[in-house]
Amino acid sequence: MSAPSNPAGLTPLPAEWSRTATTVVMPTYNEADSLPVTAEAVMALPLDGLRLLVVDDNSPDGTGKIAEDLAERYQGPQGPRMSVLHRTAKDGLGRAYAAGMARAADDGAAYVIQMDADGSHPAAKIPELLGVALATGADVVVGSRYVPGGSLSDAWAAHRKLLSRWANAYASTVLGTRVRDITGGFNLWSAAALRAIDLDTVDSAGYSFQVEMKYRALRAGHTVMEVPIHFEDRAAGESKMNLAVQLESVAMPWRLRTRAARASGDRTR
């Protein structure tokens, strides 16, 4: 269980790359059924430097305890490969990610990968995200649904696919970026990019976190690369999407744009 194997015949990364300190940050709220499967998919990857940090907001369904039990099982030669950050109450996916990513960087990760617990993001693509970053020097690598080869779950109805595409085009247009999946939540960040982004000052509580992070990285001069992924529908449990979160996502691109314009104005004055 603890020694990384090579599932699905992945092309292994060179040994030096595989040892790179990389932490997957995974927020959970009521993911008791999904977390064991997702954690195993991550921990089974043939990457010696890979760690998993679960950020649980005191899930009523006991996900925090399940995460602790799993963490005991995944041990490596240098000690635990999985750990859990417990927070006291549900505070939004963005806040959970920001706290976990800050913890992972403080603990020495050279790269941090954000990934949902619900089975939507393909763990098998993690070596590719890391390989692209190491091969190109890019500080941000996006697991992208909207580059050639990327795709959305067939279980999604046409209107849901359209809404996702529209939300993505909306944010990119308002912000004037060329990132094709700016709303996506399966991304790799270098420690340098996270320092430049300054996680403590990130505004978004919810899903607009994905957009704000990429925009901040671009403004700081970092290169954003995209590799295609297939996005699956969640296998179990319930979505945490609600109206407040959707309204924040509509307003946030404008807030970011206004703030950036003000900052540019201040610099030229």
Residue nearer to Mg ion on the CB measure, 17 or 207: 207
Distance (Å, whole) CA 146 – CA 226: 9
Residue nearer to Mg ion on the CB measure, 73 or 234: 234
CA-closest candidate to residue 97, choices 126, 56, 62, 69: 56
Among the listed residues 92, 143, 184, 253, the single contact to ligand GTP using CB under 6 A: 92
Residue nearer to ligand GTP on the CB measure, 135 or 236: 236
How far apart are CB 156 and ligand GTP at their closest, in Å? Answer: 9
- Residues in Cβ contact with 149 at an 8 Å cutoff, skipping those fewer than 6 apart: 228
Per partner kind, with CB cut-offs from 5 to 8 A, the member of Mg ion, ligand GTP, none near residue 23 is none
Among the listed residues 73, 234, 255, 257, the single contact to ligand GTP using CB under 6 A: 234
Among the listed residues 48, 56, 118, 226, the single contact to Mg ion using CB under 5 A: 118
Per partner kind, with CB cut-offs from 5 to 8 A, the member of Mg ion, ligand GTP, none near residue 114 is none
Helices (H), 62-157: 63-73, 93-106, 126-136
Per partner kind, with CB cut-offs from 5 to 8 A, the member of Mg ion, ligand GTP, none near residue 100 is none
Task: Give the tokens for residue 159.
Answer: 């209107």
Q: What angle do CA 236, 240, 242 make, to 5 degrees?
A: 140
Buried b (16+ CB within 10 A) or exposed e, 65-81: ebbeebbeebebeeeeb
Residue written as token pair 């996006």: 142
**Site residues (CB under 6 A) for ligand GTP, limited to 12-71:** 27-29, 31, 55-57
Residue nearer to ligand GTP on the CB measure, 17 or 97: 97
Q: Which stretch binds Mg ion (CB under 5 A): 13-21, 104-112, 118-126, 245-253?
A: 118-126
CA distances from 212 to 2, 66, 180, 191, 209 (A): 36, 31, 14, 17, 5
Residue nearer to ligand GTP on the CB measure, 92 or 253: 92
Paired residues of 114 in beta bridges: 25, 187
CA-closest candidate to residue 191, choices 135, 132, 133, 116: 133
The verdict on 234 binding Mg ion (CB under 5 A) reads yes
The mark string for 140-179 relative to ligand GTP (x by CB under 6 A, - otherwise) is ----------------------------------------
Per partner kind, with CB cut-offs from 5 to 8 A, the member of Mg ion, ligand GTP, none near residue 31 is ligand GTP
Q: Which residue is nearest to Mg ion (CB)?
A: 118
> Can you spell out the DSSP letters for 161-212?
HHHHHHHHHHHHHHHT---S-SS---EEEEHHHHHHHTGGG---SSTTHHHH
Per partner kind, with CB cut-offs from 5 to 8 A, the member of Mg ion, ligand GTP, none near residue 255 is none
List interacting residues with ligand GTP (CB under 6 A): 27-29, 31, 55-57, 90-93, 96, 116-118, 120, 234, 239-241
